[in-house]
Amino acid sequence: MYYFDMTDILLYVEKETTVSGIQRVSFEVIRRMVERLGAENVRLSYWDRLHREYTAIDSGFMADMDEFSPDIFGAVFFGKKARAQNDAAPTLMRYRNRPLKYWFYSKVRTYHAVRGHERYFAKMGSSIAEWTAFKTRKAPARIDVVADIRREKVSEGVRPGDQLIILGAIWNIDGLEPALQRLKDNKGIKIYQLVHDLIPIIAAEHIAADFSGEFYHWLLSSLGYCDGFIANSQNTARDLQRFMDEVGEQRPIDVVPLAQKFDVVHSNQVKDPTKPFKSRLNSLQGVDHSVLNLTKTPFVLVVGTMESRKNIWRLAQAWQRLTLTPSLDVPKLVFAGKPGWYNDDFEALMKATGNLGGWVQFAKRPSDTELGFLYENCLFTATVSVYEGWGLPIGESLSFGKTAVVADNSSMPEVGGDLVEYCDAHSISSIYDACHKLIANPDHRRALERKIAGASLRTWDDVTNDFLEAMVQE
């Protein structure tokens, strides 16, 4: 029996409505494992914080999921307490799977609406009219996918030699590490952990609070219960080996590079040239007007959480230089992602300059469909992070036929190959030069796009095949 840990997905969908990089990796691999191995041979496991038990559920429902759905996972993990996104009030989305907080803040919002406190709603990007319209709407039907899902304690169903594969980030979860150690010691299960990166201890200056110390403790503890590790890149494998050498513990490391192909979203390309008007309308389904509006002029796309490690302050400084370059037809710079850690310098720059005089725009928390629409319509993308474990947006860009400006450090050259333009992440001038080259020289940009079109990009099926090979070898 194969167990695949879903704890990080549970914690993520409790608050979030869109998928991030690590959760996408877990979802894409696990759903293919269910297809390849059969639902009878795959169970999904997670740490039940309420009952403090490591729990397993059936995996069959994932075979019917074409893309990551917070609503379906919310119904699976939280049952009747789960609230679908279309049944969550404006400004209360993050509480949709936390009924007590949802009820409390709903009462607060209603209080302010009754008293006409428009400024209260405006600070949250909403309005009294929007709140009132939601409260008077017809409630949608609830998602019901949990009726036939069987749940049991992993300790009661596991057999010696069964494998537990952890694809997500499970550090800093109270009670989980001892539970895994007990399964290892008492039940003989073999445990393998996918390591996405060692950024918390390599680039600690970009990590909030004491997460770096907590990450170090988790990685050290995992050597006690893990039979082996899987690294998502050669660079991550080297970092992990350096860590094991330092602490004097060794475990096997298999390298399974992640995908370059981003095939989750619905394509928004105009597919029927004989019916351009109808086809164009169809291509816009699922795209909010605010996202559509971002594409009215040429733009360069930056995908990912807006945090200091993504180096967005230096990128913005380079863009400011570009806007001052004579005779250069500069595109806008669009950031697609949620706010993250330690980006105060970037936010201060945006505030002081009015988003660089309008040259910078934002798509906060876009859906997969909207993200695909942005990829398909951008000139190129930019990923200039100071460090990455892999660099999913680089591969996603390539899968849409778009080249990118990419930092030449850590794992990113493994993703971009010879299909992108590289820069030094620590040099504003280098970032400027790489962006300038792709903007000012469209022939060079199109040459890279032709090379991308002829390249064989790594798919999630390839990733799953390599995982299966690593599991069989164990």
Residues 231 and 118 in one domain: no
Q: Does 67 share its domain with 171?
A: yes
Say whether both 216 and 333 belong to one domain: no
Contact between residue 273 and residue 280 where contact means Cβ atoms under 8 Å apart: no
Rounded Cα gap, residues 419 and 452, in angstroms: 6
Q: Count structural domains, the chain.
A: 3
Q: Same domain, yes or no, for 42 and 91?
A: no
CATH label of the domain that carries residue 43: 3.40.50.2000
Judge if 90 and 167 occupy the same domain. Answer: no
Q: What is the pLDDT of residue 112?
A: 76
Whether residues 293 and 367 share a domain: the answer is yes
Q: What is the domain extent for residue 66?
A: 2-80+146-259+465-473
421-436 confidence digits (pLDDT tens): 999 999 999 999 999 9
Q: Which of 112, 135, 158 is the last residue of a domain?
A: 135
In a domain, 265, yes or no: no
Q: Has residue 271 been placed in a domain?
A: no
pLDDT at 96: 65
The tokens describing 18, both together, are 């869109």
Q: Are residues 228 and 326 in the same domain?
A: no
**What local confidence, expressed as pLDDT, does residue 172 receive?**
83
pTM listed for this prediction: 0.83
Q: Indicate whether 268 belongs to any domain.
A: no
Same domain assignment for residues 401 and 436: yes
338 with 446, same domain: the answer is: yes
Is residue 194 situated within a structural domain? yes
In a domain? residue 264 = no
Residue ranges of the chain with per-residue pLDDT less than 50: 147, 264-265
Residues 228 and 285 in one domain: no
Q: Decide if 92 is inside a domain.
A: yes
* Residue 113 placed within a domain: yes
- Please indicate, yes or no, whether residues 233 and 327 belong to a single structural domain of this protein: no
Q: Is residue 269 one of the residues assigned to a domain?
A: no
d(CA 11, CA 34): 22
Give the model confidence (pLDDT) of 352-409 as tens digits.
999 999 999 999 878 888 888 999 999 999 999 999 999 999 999 999 999 999 999 9
89 plus 131 within the same structural domain: yes
pLDDT at site 108? 76
